[in-house]
Amino acid sequence: MALYKSPSPLSEQARTAISATLNERLSDGLDLHSQIKVAHWNIKGPQFAALHPLFETFAVSLANHNDSIAERAVTLGGRAYGTSRHVGTHSRLPEYPQETSRDLEHVKLLAERIEVYLAGLRDSRKQVEGHQDTDTVDLFTGIITEFEKHAWFLRASLEG
C-alpha cells in the first residue's frame, strides 16, 4: 500500500504497519458497534430500562473511537477501510445471534464481544509500542481503559 505524505516523523515502514493494525481494529470496532446497536434495538426483559440507554452510550462512544482510529490511519498516510463488506470479511468478532431478545443474554453476548475487541486492541498496542508510536499507543490505551470498564460493568450485571 502506497502511503500519502504525513506529518508523522515515523518511517514509512512503521506507518504502513501501524495503519494496517489500525484498520484491523477499525473492522472490529465497526462490527462491535453494529452488534451493540442490534442489542440496543432488540433488548427485552426486566433490565430493559437500565440496559437500553447503556447500550446506546456504548455505541456512541465506540463510534467516536472508530472515527479516531480511522483518522489516525489516514494521518499516518494510510487509508481507512470501513465498508460493511470489508468489515464483514475482516472482523475478528463472532457473528451476533440476532434472534436474541432477553436482557441478560444480550449482556453476556456483548461482554464476550467486547473482550474479543479488547484482545485485538492490546495486540495492536503491543505492535505499535514496537514502532515507538506513543500517540497511537495513547489512542489504544484510552479505548482499552474505557471498554475494560464497560466489560466489567456487563460481567458484574451477570453476577448473582
SS3 21: helix
108 vs 45: CA distance, rounded Å: 14
What pLDDT digit, counting tens, does each position of 109-147 carry? Answer: 999 999 999 999 999 999 999 999 999 999 999 999 999
Q: Does residue 34 fall inside a structural domain?
A: yes
35 vs 54: CA distance, rounded Å: 14
**Once rounded to an integer, what is the mean pLDDT over residues 43-54?**
95
Q: Does residue 5 fall inside a structural domain?
A: no
Cβ-contact 47, 157 below 8 angstroms: yes
H or E element, residue 17: helix 12-42
- Listed in sequence order, the residues at least 6 apart from 146 whose beta carbon sits closer than 8 Å to its beta carbon are 61, 65
86 vs 17: CA distance, rounded Å: 18
Query: Can you give the pLDDT at residue 4?
Result: 86
Number of domains in the chain: 1
Domain of 131? 12-158
125 vs 145: CA distance, rounded Å: 12
* CATH of residue 123: 1.20.1260.10
Indicate the pTM of the whole model. Answer: 0.96
